[in-house]
Structure 1
């Protein structure tokens, strides 16, 4: 399985959706929703960015989450998305300070 496929499956299961349900909510056709989502999760096909944005919206996750190369990075992306604009700025300032030291 690919990183994208792994993250996609984990997020879908966490939301309690079937492959078909997720595909339909992301705008796929009834006839192919389940099969296409299965192929994406197994890594035999790669969805386009536009579709991944729609899937991310359904699952409440940022697009970058699905492409993160480490668990820490994925976790930070999810947490960052949940912050207010002010808190995002504070976090960026803190990260800059930590990177300097």
Structure 2
């Protein structure tokens, strides 16, 4: 799912949360349970996040990302490919991430140059 670059963080978060939760086959209750919120509270909390009625505190955002086994940044990614890239980068070693960053910068530089010419 691609979203406009001007999408508010709250909207990006709700879209990504729902996508990652569904990808893992979890109900709204699942992540809340794993966060230690209990059945009812966990389900209501995740539902409110996905409906953009609430946004988690930073500590809860960390806990939610850990529960989904993803980096926090993936929950705010602008599109699916960026979210997948963030998750893939997180699985690399420090040296591999550095190499990947250099390659991405080179690719972005070539892409920007092709836009001009």
Q: Deviations over 1:33-80 (max 9, x none)?
A: 111110101111111121111111111110011112233322221110
The match for 1:82 is: 91
Kindly report which structure 2 residues correspond to 1:22-37, keeping only aligned pairs within 5 A, or say none: 22-37=31-46
Tell me the distance in 2 between the aligned counterparts of 1:72 and 1:99.
15
Residue 100 (structure 1) shift: 4.8
In structure 2, runs of 5+ residues without a counterpart are: 1-9, 111-117
Q: Deviations over 1:4-50 (max 9, x none)?
A: 11110111111122111210101224441111110101111111121
Q: TM-score, normalised by structure 1?
A: 0.84
The match for 2:19 is: 10
Tell me the distance in 1 between the aligned counterparts of 2:70 and 2:86.
9
Tell me the distance in 1 between the aligned counterparts of 2:107 and 2:19.
31
- The runs of at least 4 aligned residues of structure 1 exceeding 4 Å deviation read none
CA RMSD, Structure 1 to Structure 2 (Å): 1.9
